[in-house]
Amino acid sequence: MQQIAAIIGLTWKAAFRYRLFWVIVTLLLGAVVGLPLLIKHDGTAEGFAQILITYTLGSVTALLGLCTLWLACGTLARDIEECQLQMVLVKPVARWQVWLGKWLGLVTLNAALLAVAGASIYCVIEWRARGLAPDQLFTLRNQVLAARDSAKPENVDQAIETETRRRLQELISQQKLGGSKPEAVADSIRDELKNEVQLVGPDGFHPWLIHVGASRGQLKGQPLYLRVKFNTSAANASGTFYADWLVRNPETGDAWPHEQMSLAPDTVHEFAVPADYVDDKGDILIYFHNPNKASMLFPLADGMEVLYRVGGFAPNLARGLGIILCWMALLAALGLAAASFLSFPVAAFCSLAILTMGLSSGTLSNVVSEGTVMGTNPETGAKTSQTVDNVMVPVFRAILHVINVVQQFSPVDSLSTGRNVSWKELGLATAEIVLLLGGILGIFGIFVFHRRELAAVAVTH
């Protein structure tokens, strides 16, 4: 451990004495303090959160990510190229200890920088929030600067699938397919069933029973927040649609009607309702009445959600930064793994290329969903190059799977919308991003580093 600690200390010293580090620190401070001063928000809590949390944390993540990759490649590759590592490895230090020491050095350095950035963001938010109007400040404190868990209606995907199969079988047994392919008929049935669940016709009602669950004890005296989003089948002149809401305690039947609202489609709306309407089992009933002439569709994924406060902003920010640290740990492992067998410029180039590929997951996603890299012939509908697709699509699918492991965590979005970044989420991020993906890169990096003839660099130069 003493040896690893010495290498961690050396990595810190190396970072401090590189100019790049100080450039990054200056940019970080610029992002955290300067950016909110330069960009004016629109005076709303949401606009305030967008600039002070999304932009600043996004900038911090991007800057630290690039800095981490660069330092990770440099700290190992340059030590090898400049032969300093020869002096280290003729001492009783195993190569895995050197690799691990450098990785831990970068991770602890990132942790320190994130702590400074987080503290600065927190202070800037508190300072700038004083300029908001009282109602917006109230919204900010309750809906953004908070850690809120969410509850959604029960997932009905399985039920829809079961019902789809049942109806399909029924049609098949009655020989009513009419020459159509069974899968096409199934898709049609599935869409129909989804519409039944999502769609609220003119003057129609829609109930949602939401289980808030174990958190009921924490809700006494606190408001709940309904977060809704809908689409419409037709547009109207005003661009908004009326909505009537009623919240009911399923046990006692007590009801709380909300005054009619005018809401824009395809937009997330959030409003408070009293928590007293959650019953002893932790359930709450929400009714919606569509007073418009157009149908309204509440998507299953994010059409209806109930949010409730479970903690404060500061610990939530700390956990969010913890997930960002997991990303940095993965980037450090990526840079070190590349530098274990490549020269500094090549390692930096490859690492940045992989990072760019990770950020452009949309393209990969399209390829996987379309099942082709080279595209299809518009006339025949056949794939242009079946061979390439046979190789590349599975590769892209595997890469996308890895990227999804990392991208499933979105602390910046969660923090800017006041959602709780739970300890479980942080633990999962640590396990999947750091231990699993970082571990794979670490094992690969240490393996190739162990096999490398370090003095061959100097000799061949």
Q: Where does 18-94 have alpha helices with state H?
A: 19-29, 35-38, 45-49, 56-81, 84-89
CB 147 within 8 A of CB 310: yes
The DSSP code sequence of 260-317 is EEEE-TTS-EEEEEEGGGS-TTSEEEEEEE--SSS-EE--TTTSEEEEEEEEEHHHHH
Query: Closer to other proteins at the Cβ: 2 or 369?
Result: 2
The nearer residue to other proteins, 101 or 358, going by C-beta atoms, is 101
Q: What are phi and psi of 199, to 5 degrees?
A: -85, 135
Task: Kindly compute the dihedral angle of the four CA atoms of residues 453, 454, 456, 457, in this order, to the nearest 10 degrees.
Answer: 140
Nearer to other proteins by Cβ, of 97 and 292: the residue is 97
> What's the min distance (Å) between Cβ of 181 and other proteins?
54
Question: For 191, left (φ over 0), alpha (ψ -120 to 50), or beta?
Answer: alpha
Please identify, using beta-carbon distances, which residue of 87 and 382 lies nearer to other proteins. Answer: 87
Q: CB of 91: closest distance to other proteins in angstroms?
A: 4
Which residues here bind other proteins, judged by CB under 8 A? 2-3, 5-6, 9-10, 13-14, 17, 82-84, 86-94, 453-456, 459-460
Q: How far is the CB of 17 from other proteins (least distance, A)?
A: 4
Nearer to other proteins, 18 or 122 (CB): 18
- In one-letter notation, the amino acid at residue 409 is F
> Closest distance between other proteins and the C-beta of residue 83, in Å?
4
Which helix (H) or strand (E) element contains residue 193?
helix 182-198
Of residues 3 and 142, the one with the C-beta less far from other proteins: 3
Q: Which is nearer to other proteins, 7 or 400 (CB)?
A: 7
CB of 144 to other proteins, least distance (A): 43
Could you tell me the smallest distance in angstroms from the CB atom of residue 165 to other proteins?
58
From the CB of 80, what's the least distance to other proteins, in Å? 11
Counts for the chain of helices (H) and strands (E), in that order: 19, 11
Contact yes or no for 411/60 (Cβ under 8 A): no
Query: Which amino acid is residue 403, in one-letter code?
Result: I
- Rounded to the nearest whole angstrom, what is the least distance from the CB of residue 75 to other proteins in the complex? 11
Residue closer to other proteins, measured from CB, 84 or 363: 84
Q: SS3 letters for 121-148?
A: HHHHHHHHHCCCCHHHHHHHHHHHCEEE
Instruction: Enter the tokens of residue 72.
Output: 């990770």
Minimum CB distance to other proteins smaller for 32 or for 80: 80
What's phi and psi for 376, nearest 5 deg? -120, 155
Q: How far is the CB of 110 from other proteins (least distance, A)?
A: 20
How far apart are the C-alpha atoms of 363 and 361, rounded to whole Å?
5
